[in-house]
Structure 1
Amino acid sequence: MRKKTLVTVTAALALLATACGSGERGGAGGGIGAPAPAGAASGPSNAACSGTTLKSTDIGITADKITIEMIGDTGSTAIPGLANGAVEAVKAWADMLNKQGGLACRKVEVRTYDSKLSPDEARNGYVDACQKTFAAVGTTALSVADVTPLTDCVDKNGAKTGLPEVPGLTILPVHTCNPTSFPMYGSGVPCPVAAGARDVEVPKAVGSFMKQQLGGGAQHGLYLVPTTAAAYSQAVISQIRNLEQTYGLAADIEAGANGKDPQSAYTPAATTMRDKKSTFGYNASTWPSFLLLQKEAAVQGATPKMWYCVGACYDPAYTKAGGKVTAGTYVQISNIPYEEAGQNPEIKEFTTRVKEVNTFAQSAWVSARLFQQAVEDTVKASGPNGLTRASLLKALAAVKDFDNRGMVSKSTPSAKLPAECIVIVQAQDGGGFKRIHPQQPGTMRCEGFDKINIDVATAFKG
């Protein structure tokens, strides 16, 4: 399996959602609509298509084609190629379905729009999608700040139905809370959007694992927060504050990480870790930024008991670039590890069809599968000519406990909650990752949510 380097932003990992019970949960679970084996999809051979004269039922739907738009940050000069894997994943999903017969008795066509890490371009992408496509699928735009093109989008009949969106990720609450967007995982900030301190739900599993692994006594360390854009820090700060306040993992330093920073920019953070004898280094930023910190820490003689990184580091490029420096780093993910593809057919499908396998690609793939399920549910209820933007929004709102055939933790997208369930893998000397927690293959650790009162817009103090 060939995997290319991708700079992955942790804010994208406003990860998994919805209660899946406490303790370990097995990987088996809900599928993609019909009870078909992994990889199967409905198409023209489906009974629903026989004898049906297909029609153009809405913008982006003709008698033979469904057109969707994939909006992604691929051309930014700050972080080039950020969403390349996500774009590839949506195209690979569409190609797979088309070879199997299509979706709703039609072929799927994917348009792409480069949002360039720009709020204006993200908005322009939504305008383009509203005018030319049926829905936005797999959106990997990290600077969405204006969702009015989604809410104000009119359908074929001129009604302000809204543009259905199944994004690969959402960052700011204004995007997460948009009523026509159905992200797999939200930030835990309650909707509707409001200024000031709010009660935010944060997964317990992260803090309990770190506390258990670090052991007793006073634990203190560094928190690395992404600052390439203000929205990034807002997306991760709730988890950091919860680790401090609920689990006693105090901050020696809270450092910002800009994607353009050289290694020397991390000297103050590394020397602080050394001087204060920090017991952990927690990364909520990109893996390249984190790796520069780890390298500088080695130069300065900082030796924490634990290096911990959210899913951004679950990328073969990270261990390849870092070598021995990355060995032993704990990485938090919210899916069955790719290394267990032999045990999970959907992981195998994804890793076989997508070359640039990383967190963004996976999120986009899962969102495409969620879109697929909602379409199939609509066709099952109303036939292939019953598919409209309005009926799709209704179907998306009705999806519960979606886990993409056990690939990820269960999610009810309309709830817009963060990830409850996690898996911890560890970077290995020589490359690759090994499952650490929970130890049983095919399982995830689910412990419910803590609640913390916080103003995400002002909480970062770095």
Structure 2
Amino acid sequence: MTPFHRLTLVSGAAVLALTAAGCGGSALDPKTAVRANAALHGNAQGTTSTVSAPGPVVSAPTSTQGPKSTVPGGLLPVAEHPGQTKTNDQGSGLNPSAPACTALAKQTGITDTTVTIANASDITGPVPGIFNSAQQATRAFAAYFNAHSSLCGRKLQVLDLDTRTDAGGDQRAYVTACDKAFAAVGSMSAFDSGGAATADQCGLPDIRSQSVSDTRNDCRTCFGAQATELHAFQNAIPDFLVSRHGAAAKKSAIIYVREAAAVETAKYTKLAEEKRGMKFVYDTTFDVAEFNYAPYVQAMKDKGVRLVQFIGSSDQAVRMAQAMQTYQFKPDVFVQDATAYNQSFLKTGGSAVEGAYIYVNFLPFEAAGGNQEMKLYRAWLQQVAPGAVPSYFGLYAWSAARLFTEQAQALGSNLTRANLVRRIRAVSLWTDHGLHAPQPVGPKKNSSCWRFLRAHDGRWVTIGNDYICHGSTVIR
């Protein structure tokens, strides 16, 4: 068993690699796996590529709604939609005086007193509780919402469903959701292709934490609060590295765990980043059970590597960093994705991880004091799950629940599954009141906006207050 279950923040690569490591669960085709990794890494799938022109750095200060932008195709930012509520003293975007909606028709999941939403996430399976944070966050938002507002005079009721880290489990959960819930909200599954057709066929609005497969993205009623364009790589990541560490970027190494998902991820990461000016002089895998990292360190020293890009769990990244320190190899840059965004990485890595970079597409948790929505997420998470740690997947599940209620409230007596789906399709530049980078939820396109953090003296330090938004490299 790999150490992935100890991660606070789990990347697509780590989630999907665990099933290939002899831990059980469903088999996953490598091509599907790499597309799933795009949900966090921004990686793409294919053989040829087109590079979009780099855009400007878009200012998104910690305490604001996020970048302003013009949306193509007539789509409106959610803040401009009729019925959008304003921030009030009780919290961002709630409307405590919502109409009673006495004309609201009874329908699946709606009674005279409640609106049932289902959360279908991986709770059991090879790594128990792997997406428990998504379910906790959905329940936390429902508790917050019920304390301050209502939906057509009705309170939210959350139906917890377990997708069991398995495509079949996902399908069974969505059969139940179709029969018993008005909508599915905040769901997160590593094998989300299973229930996609079921949700589509029954017309179930499925506003997820994120989608990780082409099948889910093709579902006409399914959307991610973190929108994912599974064939595009955000240019902000290599552009940041090249702009800050140009010489080092010309002598890069990419090191990744030898599992189908990570291998495919690394392949397309390298392809996209080379088109943005990076050059890789060392490319290698390591076994999931590997503990001797000395040979990799020596090889990097021999090749003059100055930038190390790592794809694996945070525990594995710590072991690599410790080996580099032991053998006196200090590259200019050691970088990985949000997998490392947890206190365990900093505590166990100590001085070995000093200066390490990570990239995220949401407001850092340390910034709770500057954003009301982050305060609410953290506070209400403790109300429903004392001691729970906020996470990447939980944050986007909270965002999905917020998006659901704002759009449902705006429909009033016209609330139906079909009307809600039509409304979600028109949502773009969704930030959940500054909680994360702007997400084109309806169009299902990458936001292409990332921000960077660096380990310093045992804590994560943000580099600037802005997202970097440079478009995407599309690989078809």
TM-superposed deviation, 1:206: 0.9
Letter of the structure 1 residue corresponding to residue 124 of structure 2: G
Q: Percent identity?
A: 22
In the TM superposition, residue 47 of structure 1 has moved relative to its aligned partner by: 4.7
Is the Cα contact below 8 Å between 1:277 and 1:303 reproduced in 2? no
Q: Determine if contact 2:211/2:217 at 8 Å carries over to the other structure.
A: yes
SS of the residue aligned with 1:263? coil
2:421 alignment partner in structure 1: 393
Q: Is 1:448–2:471 an aligned residue pair?
A: yes
Alignment partner of 2:241 out of 182, 191, 210 = 210
- Report deviation, 1:96: 0.3
Q: Say if 1:138 and 1:365, in contact at 8 Å, map to a contact too.
A: yes
The verdict on how the C-alpha distance between 1:39 and 1:257 changes in structure 2, with shifts beyond 3 A counting, is farther
Quickly say closer, same or farther: Cα 1:104–1:271, change in 2 above 3 A: farther
Per-residue deviation, 1:102: 2.7
* Structure 2 residue 272 is matched with structure 1 residue 242: yes
Q: CA RMSD in A?
A: 3.0
How far is 1:90 from its partner?
1.0
Alignment partners' CA distance in 2, 1:432 and 1:127: 44
Provide closer, same or farther for how the CA distance between residues 168 and 319 of structure 1 changes in structure 2, counting only shifts above 3 A: same
Residue 114 of structure 1 is matched in structure 2 by 162
Structure 2 residue identity aligned to 1:22: P
**1:222 & 1:290 partners in 2: Cα distance?**
14
Shift of 1:223: 2.5
Unaligned runs of 5+ in 2: 1-5, 13-36, 44-52, 66-77, 382-387
Give the whole-Å Cα distance in 1 for the aligned partners of 2:473 and 2:285: 24
* Equivalent position of 2:332 in the other structure: 305
Structure 1 residue 5: Cα displacement: 5.2
Q: Find the partner of 1:72 among 101, 106, 121.
A: 121
1:449 maps to a residue whose letter is S
Contact 1:274 / 1:301 at 8 angstroms: preserved in 2?
no
User: In structure 2, what is the Cα distance between the partners aligned to 1:267 and 1:174?
Assistant: 41
**Cross-structure match for 2:173:** 125
Is the 2:86–2:94 contact (alpha carbons within 8 Å) kept by the matching residues of 1? no
Q: 1:400 to 1:306 in 2, by over 3 A?
A: same
- Structure 2 residue 10 is matched with structure 1 residue 8: yes
Amino acid paired to 1:124 = R
Q: Secondary structure at the match of 2:363?
A: coil
Aligned equivalent of 2:60, options 16, 23, 26: 26
Q: Map 1:314-393 to 2 at 5 A.
A: 314-354=341-381, 355-379=388-412, 383=413, 386-393=414-421
Residue in structure 2 matched with residue 253 of structure 1 by the alignment: 283
Query: So what's the TM-score if we normalise by structure 1?
Result: 0.80
Point out where structure 1 has 5 or more consecutive residues left out of the alignment: 154-161, 190-199, 455-462
- Mapped to 2, the partners of 1:53 and 1:358 lie a distance apart of 39
How far off is 1:226 after superposition? 6.0
The 8 Å contact of residues 39 and 349 in structure 1, kept in 2 or not, is answered as yes
Q: Which position in structure 2 is the counterpart of 1:159?
A: none
What code does the residue aligned with 2:283 have?
I
Amino acid at match of 1:414: G
Alignment of 1:451-462 (within 5 A): 451=474, 453-454=475-476
Looking at structure 1, the residues matched to 54 and 187 of structure 2 have their Cα atoms a distance apart, in angstroms, of 25
Cα distance in 2, alignment partners of residues 14 and 170 from structure 1 = 13
CA distance in 1, matches of 2:153, 2:281: 55
When normalised by structure 2's length, the TM-score is: 0.78
Partner SS state of residue 82, structure 1: coil
Secondary structure in structure 2 of the residue aligned to 1:168: strand
CA contact (8 A) 2:138 2:186 kept: yes
Deviation at 1:231, TM superposition (A): 5.2
Q: Aligned partners of 2:261, 2:377: CA distance in 1, in Å?
A: 29
CA distance in 1, matches of 2:278, 2:219: 34
SS at match of 1:49: coil
Alpha-carbon spacing, 1:253–1:141, altered in 2? closer, same or farther (3 Å): same
Q: Distance in 2 between the 1:378 and 1:279 partners?
A: 55
Letter of the aligned partner of 2:390 in structure 1?
V
- The Cα offsets for residues 210-256 of structure 1, whole Å up to 9 and x where unpaired, read as 1122223662333344666x456656754442112332231511426
Give the match for residue 197 of structure 1. none
How far has the Cα of 1:97 moved from its partner?
0.4
Of the structure 1 ranges 82-91 and 214-223, higher mean CA displacement relative to structure 2 is found in 214-223
CA distance in 2, matches of 1:183, 1:435: 26
| Structure 2 partner of 1:157 | none
| Distance (Å, rounded) in 2 between the aligned partners of 1:378 and 1:185 | 23
* 1:76–1:389 CA distance, 2 compared to 1 (3 A): same
Deviation string, structure 1 residues 108-167 (Cα, Å, up to 9, x no partner): 1112222232122122222221122122211210122332112222xxxxxxxx221111
AA partner of residue 346 (structure 2): T
The one-letter code matched in structure 2 to 1:325 is A
Give the Cα separation in 1 of the matches to 2:265 and 2:189.
14
